[in-house]
Amino acid sequence: MKAAAMAAGIVASRRLRDLLSRRLTASNYSGLSISLRLTGSSAQEEAPDHSYESLRVTSAQKHVLHVQLNRPNKRNAMNKAFWREMVECFNKISRDADCRAVVISGAGKMFTAGIDLMDLASDILQPKGDDVARISWYLRDIITRYQETFSVIEKCPKPVIAAIHGGCIGGGVDLITACDIRYCAQDAFFQVKEVDVGLAADVGTLQRLPKVIGNQSLVNELAFTARKMMADEALGCGLVSRVFPDKEVMLDAALALAAEISSKSPVAVQSTKVNLLYSRNHSVAESLNYVASWNMSMLQTQDITKSVQAVTENKELKSVTFSKL
């Protein structure tokens, strides 16, 4: 009986490996891309409980939300409403048991021009307070609240895919480095712009970009000079994982990837994100101990039985019904 069980386990393991290998190829996205293109962002339904001034949130398909920066006439510049609404939006997404993956993109001709300096000038250039100490506390409170605008993306247990076209400037780099996966169109460029307006980036780029691309010299160059990094260079250094001919093709691919991720066990996917982030900031030994403690409970999920059964029966995982999480 034990020998038979081991043999069955080996067969299931091989089938699972082969299935994953097939699904990771680019050709796997083609069918999903066609179906998603037929229901483009303009035709997507507005997501319930998501009504914002600076964002548009739609249900791209089952288990996938599409968050758009939605100030196209202002090049999606990040105004006061944006900094507040991103936190509200992603806190809701984190609690949304139906959502399993998120795509974030920009409406109009570019991803984002970064901070809306005109809208934020009063807070930054005319801070409240009677003396240096009180003004400093006021500014620190603003900075930490703005940091949370992007940290909330990282804290969200659902994978977040950034789909970037045109300019991704200043705060845009802070935003995308908090995302889990980054795709871009060929016309995309990236710019750590803060030194050109007299300040050091303070809401995530200087902390996350070195860990994303693993090249401190290049990070320093970009941050000290505010020069543009074009799409091909971004691909070469690892800032993005794929480059596409244009925005439409890129969005198709990003939504197809989100659909693929959403077909997996949400326990498995969200546990993976939590442990990847923990491992980024801790030693190998600490991270192994953490995942052991994590999986002592997560291994008891029914999702494992359902997933293995689907593989052994040559069924697509998207045909499996996983409970909400």
**At CB < 8 A and 24+ separation, what contacts does 132-140 make?**
none
Is 202 marked active-site? yes
Angstrom distance (rounded) from CA 304 to CA 320: 11
Angstrom distance (rounded) from CA 186 to CA 310: 38
Cβ neighbours around 15 below 10 Å, total: 16
Angstrom distance (rounded) from CA 15 to CA 35: 27
Q: Which of 114, 166, 167, 171 is catalytic?
A: 171
Angstrom distance (rounded) from CA 66 to CA 254: 10
Angstrom distance (rounded) from CA 234 to CA 240: 6
DSSP string over 239-301: S-SEEESSHHHHHHHHHHHHHHHHTS-HHHHHHHHHHHHHHHTS-HHHHHHHHHHHHHHHTT-
Q: In the block, which residue shows the tokens 């080996």?
A: 10
Is 115 marked active-site? yes
Q: Which two tokens stand for residue 110?
A: 């570019």
Q: Which of 104, 115, 153, 161 is catalytic?
A: 115
Q: Which of 194, 252, 260, 303 is catalytic?
A: 194
Q: For the packed helices 266-280 and 284-298, what is the interaxial angle rounded to 10 degrees?
A: 160
Cβ 160 vs Cβ 183: under 8 Å: no
Angstrom distance (rounded) from CA 281 to CA 276: 9
Angstrom distance (rounded) from CA 205 to CA 32: 33
Cβ 99 vs Cβ 48: under 8 Å: no
Is 98 marked active-site? no
Is 124 marked active-site? no
Q: Which of 98, 123, 154, 202 is catalytic?
A: 202
Q: Which of 96, 116, 174, 260 is catalytic?
A: 174
Angstrom distance (rounded) from CA 159 to CA 214: 21
Q: Which two tokens stand for residue 170?
A: 């200043």
> Would you name the residues annotated as active-site residues?
115, 171, 174, 194, 202
